[in-house]
Amino acid sequence: MKYVTLNNGVKIPQLGYGVYQVEPTEAGRCVNDALGAGYRMVDTAQAYHNEEGVGAAVKKSGIARSEIFLVSKIWISNYGYERAKASIDESLRRLQTEYIDLMLLHQPFCDYYGAYRALEEAYREGKLRAIGVSNFQPNHFIDLASNVEIVPAVNQVETHVFCQQIRSKEYMDEFGTHTMSWGPLAEGRNGLFVNPVLKEIGKVHGKSVAQVALRYLTQRDVIIIPKSVHRNRMEENFNIYDFELTPDEMERIKSLDLAKSAFFDHNDPETVKMFMGWRAL
Ligand code: NAD
């Protein structure tokens, strides 16, 4: 496993396991399988309603807590200083842990400045080992990172071969903030799993399309958290450090970039309206 050092010196595995859309009743089994496959980082969120299952599986695993890196996110209904502060304690309780390794603000909407102050406070109290944001596009990201005391360690944004975040990553790099990819396989959108370029490159290395797509991101110094509920795919997605893409292959994959979201554009007013409707998630 490759580790990356965040801007506060904390080490994070470059490859983790994400549990978005994993049913609360399935989360325990999935995390148990993922830990068995070798993953040591798990990405959950208050809005996924499966922090309890994640925490229970980590506890039951018998693996030292210090060896597992837990990521969670505060949902927008818990923004504002007071609510965010209380919700951090709730996440700690659900995850059955005394600290969360990385806590993010899930979306750049509602009172995120107030919520970020609660993150900073919990970080100073030792409840959080690192703090950051998610889905902050360069405009929101630069604004926040320039006006807080603790610069975000991570910005978790949609990043895959069709939405590579080349320019956004440069802005994050300027602040020493690591890019963490959500949807590293684009959830299969845009025909990712049958893409001819990825298939051809995979053939050369004896690797699957998924492995090529994930390896590409790690070679660009992006942290990734692919998701699958199947143990064999968890293993496949984990097994990406035994080959290397050549500079030519990297260029060919770079050319697949459409530089736009395969899901929704956070700068689109309709997206903002959609999230206001999801405040009660
Ligand atoms: P993903 O790109 O990881 O795709 C997952 C899907 O791809 C699976 O459900 C499965 O259908 C397919 N798949 C996975 N491995 C495969 C393989 N080896 N072969 C064939 N098919 C395969 O999508 P995701 O789950 O949306 O993103 C990963 C994680 O990122 C999430 O679980 C979550 O933790 C995080 N996330 C965060 C946000 C956010 O707003 N911060 C949004 C979405 C996801």
Per-residue pLDDT of the chain (281 residues; tens, 9 = 90+): 899 999 999 999 999 999 999 999 999 999 999 999 999 999 999 999 999 999 999 999 999 999 999 999 999 999 999 999 999 999 999 999 999 999 999 999 999 999 999 999 999 999 999 999 999 999 999 999 999 999 999 999 999 999 999 999 999 999 999 999 999 999 999 999 999 999 999 999 999 999 999 999 999 999 999 999 999 999 999 999 999 999 999 999 999 999 999 999 999 999 999 999 988 77
Q: Is residue 125 part of a domain?
A: yes
**Residue 280: per-residue pLDDT:** 76
Q: Is residue 21 part of a domain?
A: yes
Q: What's the gap in Å between 243 CA and the centre of ligand 1?
A: 22
**Residue 82: per-residue pLDDT:** 98
Range of the domain at 243: 3-276
Q: Is residue 281 part of a domain?
A: no
Give the chain's domain count: 1
Nearest CA to ligand 1 atom 9: 228
**Residue 279: per-residue pLDDT:** 82
Q: Is residue 12 part of a domain?
A: yes
Q: Is residue 139 part of a domain?
A: yes
**Residue 1: per-residue pLDDT:** 87
Residues near ligand 1 (Cβ within 6 A): 18-20, 43, 106, 134-135, 156, 182-188, 193, 210, 225-228, 233, 236-237
Q: What's the gap in Å between 2 CA and the centre of ligand 1?
A: 20
In this structure, what CATH number is given to the domain that contains residue 38?
3.20.20.100
**Residue 222: per-residue pLDDT:** 98
| Three-class HEC string of the chain | CCEEECCCCCEEECECEECCCCCHHHHHHHHHHHHHHCCCEEECCHHHCCHHHHHHHHHHHCCCHHHCEEEEEECHHHCCHHHHHHHHHHHHHHCCCCCECEEEECCCCCCHHHHHHHHHHHHHCCCECCEEEECCCHHHHHHHHHHCCCCCCEEEEECECCECCHHHHHHHHHCCCEEEEECCCHHHHHHHHHCHHHHHHHHHHCCCHHHHHHHHHHHCCCEECCCCCCHHHHHHHHCCCCCCCCHHHHHHHHCCCCCCCCCCCCCCHHHHHHHHHCCCC
Tell me if 106 is assigned to a ligand binding site. yes
**Catalytic residue IDs:** 48
**Residue 15: per-residue pLDDT:** 98
